[in-house]
A = this chain, B = another copy of it.
Amino acid sequence: MYVSVPPMEIESRSLAIIDAEVPEPRPFAGDQWAVARRMIHTTADFDLLSHIRFHPAAIQAGKDALLAGADIVTDTRMALSGIPVRRLEPLGCTVRCLIDDPAVAKRAKSEGVTRAWAAVDEVMAHGGADIFVIGNAPTALYRLLDWMERGARPPKLIVGMPVGFVNAAESKELLLAQDAIPYITIVGRKGGSSLAACVINALLKLAREPRGS
């Protein structure tokens, strides 16, 4: 039955339901649980709990980067739309997506690569970024790791969650195979722009309102 719930309480009730349905001991604790729980909240897909992977330094790196005014790059406009730009701006953060940039379209066409791949090249050719949020394109993650292997300036965090059936799982295995750059990822085929974006929301919340305070 539909239950009338005051708007301000919908989120906290939802999170309490997830807490109750994933009893302790949980697969993640503390801040990692806060991020994982947000991902369940976004999809209602508890299966993710077996597939989420955190680099041990990822949460702290993400919080620090946001509080220091991160330059955030997303692979899709959907991920961009899911990130609360207005709440990030006071911290000095910027959020951008180059997928529709004319220079990217031109580069993709002339080189026969995806626009997501060309967008990473465009970002890296101009100094890189602090946080990459990849929710759709395996080619974006693969290309970013390619730049890293060649010694380019690393980001502070990679939220690497491309979804799909061609190279998505493989690109995330490559991300997991390195430990120089902090990452948050989902092994296997699952992922998506909503998931990648919600990780930034969760990190922002943790950065601004430390748990227990």
Q: List the interface of chain A (C-beta within 8 A of B).
A: 1-3, 5-7, 10, 13-14, 17-18, 41-45, 47, 76-78, 80-82, 108, 112-115, 138-139, 142, 163-168, 170-171, 174, 188-194, 197
Contacts and interface: CB of A to CB of B under 8 A. Distances in A.
Nearest to A4: B167
A160 to B, nearest CB: 14
B167 A3 contact: yes
Contact of A2 (B45, B47, B170): B170
B197 A78 contact: yes
22 contacts: A1-B170, A2-B138, A2-B170, A2-B171, A3-B167, A5-B167, A6-B112, A7-B113, A7-B115, A13-B165, A13-B166, A14-B164, A41-B165, A43-B43, A43-B163, A44-B163, A44-B165, A44-B191, A45-B190, A77-B81, A78-B82, A193-B194
A166 B5 contact: yes
A164 B44 contact: yes
A207 to B, nearest CB: 22
A165 B165 CA distance: 28
Contacts of A197: 78
A107 to B, nearest CB: 12
A176 to B, nearest CB: 13
A43 B51 CA distance: 14
Contacts of A42: 163, 192
A198 B210 CA distance: 36
B17 A166 contact: yes
A197 B163 CA distance: 16
A2 B140 CA distance: 13
A115 B8 CA distance: 11
Q: By CB atoms of chain B within 10 A, which of A7, A170, A171, A188 has the most?
A: A7
